[in-house]
Structure 1
Amino acid sequence: MEEVLKYNKIKSFLSDKRIRNEDLAKFLGKTVNSITKWNSNRAQPPIQELYRIAEFLKLKDWRDLLEKEPYFIKIGRDKEDKK
């Protein structure tokens, strides 16, 4: 299992607003794979993309998309789970 720092809350906002990754990807002109990486915190969007995501989600401040204090989360599966 891999540990990554959780910096953003994009996945939570999409889930709460019942918006699909595909819809956000289309709005941004990005691939669904990019959105998935951002949702899992495997990669982080540039600040200008955070601004556009906030616009799409109708948030007043793009900084609402960020965790106040990043923390580690585990993602993926344990090697034992793959057996």
Structure 2
Amino acid sequence: MIKINRLAEVLEIKKITNRELAEKIKKTEETVSRWVNNHRQPPLTELYKIAKLLDTDIRELLYPTKP
């Protein structure tokens, strides 16, 4: 499976659990787990909320692509 987001890595750096993130953005822990494990991808609106909550640039949540 191709990883698209870096959500797991950023959450680890920020020391925030899936459950804490789920509570803060009003999503289920199962939904966040799917995003973290790259089984599903969060919509851009949710990525924006997550980036703002984690005080990080939205680009930090995504794997870079080759030019």
Q: Tell me, yes or no, whether TM beats 0.5.
A: yes
Unaligned runs of 5+ in 2: none
| 1:18-67 deviation digits (Å, cap 9, x = unpaired) | 101111101111000011100110000000000000011101x2121000
Quote the residue 2:46 is aligned against: 49
> Which structure has the higher relative contact order (CA within 8 Å, separation 6+)?
1
Give the number of equivalent residue pairs.
66
Identical residues among aligned pairs (%): 38
Root-mean-square deviation (Å): 1.3
Structure with greater proportional strand content: 1
Match for residue 61 of structure 2 among 58, 65, 72: 65
In structure 1, runs of 5+ residues without a counterpart are 70-83
Whole-angstrom distance in 2 between the partners of 1:6 and 1:23: 22
* Match among 8, 24, 31 for residue 11 of structure 1: 8
More helix by share: 2
Which structure has the larger Rg?
1
